[in-house]
Amino acid sequence: MTVTLSIITLTLNNLEYTKKYIDSLYRYTRDFELIIVDNASVDGTIDYLENLRLEKDNIKIIYNEENKGFSKGNNQGIEIAEGEYIGFLNNDILLYPNWFEKIKEVFDKENAAFVSPRHINPNYNLTNEHTYIEYFEHFKYDKPYEKNFDECVFSCVVTKTDVLEKIGNFDEKYSPAFFEDNDMKYRAILSGYGVFVVNTICFFHFGSVTSAEYDANLEQNRDYYYSKYPFAEYLSTVGDENGRLKLCTRHFQSFPLNFVYKLYLFWLKVLKKIKRLKK
């Protein structure tokens, strides 16, 4: 099957949101294959997916017997994707009309690695799943799209197969979730690509429904991320200053800053243990 876009979506329960996402996906997307990687759902999701596969002819499903996490699950999807473009879309989002067409325009004009729509979240925006499209129409930006490390989010993002061939897939040491997206964007920028957000489209995110149970791993994955990339904080504050970042990286390669940073993290843990013992 020849398709333009392969969409990879992970599921782990939350069937109510998955159904809304699937309805939105098929309403606003054309010429795609859907790859669903289920991380051991137990709430009826598997039965729903099997019925969906009987109804649609563009679906591939991978069933995991245990939760493989975000990085591993997406890598499984990448292995069987056939599209020139690959989208990583959460199962707790809703899409916007012509969302992929607008994203593709950025790839046509720029040396882009990852492109995301604007993110609408009911925790921060005065809208809901029924009104987010009309709500977003009132937003006005100076440019149709722009480079933005932080606003390009992997709840709904598109890349290209040849980009992944150059920078690599998800680092599976980020388990089960968090910071794997920053790692991917960082590697892309080091390879000379841009990371973009499109200002003329959005997606609605119900609010970290799928990742809430992973919060305990946030600190651990953050430490791993900064041990790999000591200048990552600088990157996220100044944007995608590729030249400056490469200069920092050359200094990093000439001096073992990653080792120093790991010692720093170790010392922080020691101090925390000492404080707990004193209490």
**Token pair belonging to 271:** 């101090």
Look at residue 240 in the predicted model and tell me its pLDDT: 43
Tell me which CATH code domain 5-211 carries.
3.90.550.10
Half-sphere exposure of 240 (CA within 13 A, CB side): 25
φ, ψ for residue 145 (rounded to 5)?
A: -155, 165
pLDDT in the model for residue 60 = 96
* pLDDT for position 157: 98
Q: In order along the chain (279 residues), what is the average pLDDT of each group of 10 residues? A: 91 96 97 96 95 94 94 97 97 97 98 96 87 93 92 96 97 87 91 94 82 65 83 58 53 54 73 75
Determine if the peptide bond prior to 97 is cis (ω within 30°).
no
Tokens 């069987």 identify what position?
Answer: 80
- Work out whether strand 112-120 and strand 85-89 pair parallel, antiparallel, or are unpaired: unpaired
Sign of CA dihedral 76, 80, 85, 90: negative
Query: What pLDDT sits at residue 134?
Result: 95
> Looking at residue 78, what is its pLDDT?
98
Give this prediction's pTM: 0.83
Query: Which of left, alpha, beta for 179 (phi over 0: left; psi -120 to 50: alpha)?
Result: left
**Beta strand 59-63 pairing with 93-94:** unpaired
Q: What is the pLDDT of residue 254?
A: 45
Residue 277's pLDDT is 76
Residues with Cβ within 8 Å of 138's Cβ and at least 6 positions away in sequence, in order, are none
Question: What size, in residues, is the chain?
Answer: 279
Two tokens at 134?
A: 């009309």
Helix (H, G, I), strand (E, B) or coil at 223: helix
From 177, 119, 109, 189, select the one nearest 153 (Cα to Cα): 119
CA atoms within 13 A on the CB side of 138: 8
Given this model, what pLDDT does residue 234 score?
A: 63
- Is 11:64 a contact under the CB 8 Å cutoff? no
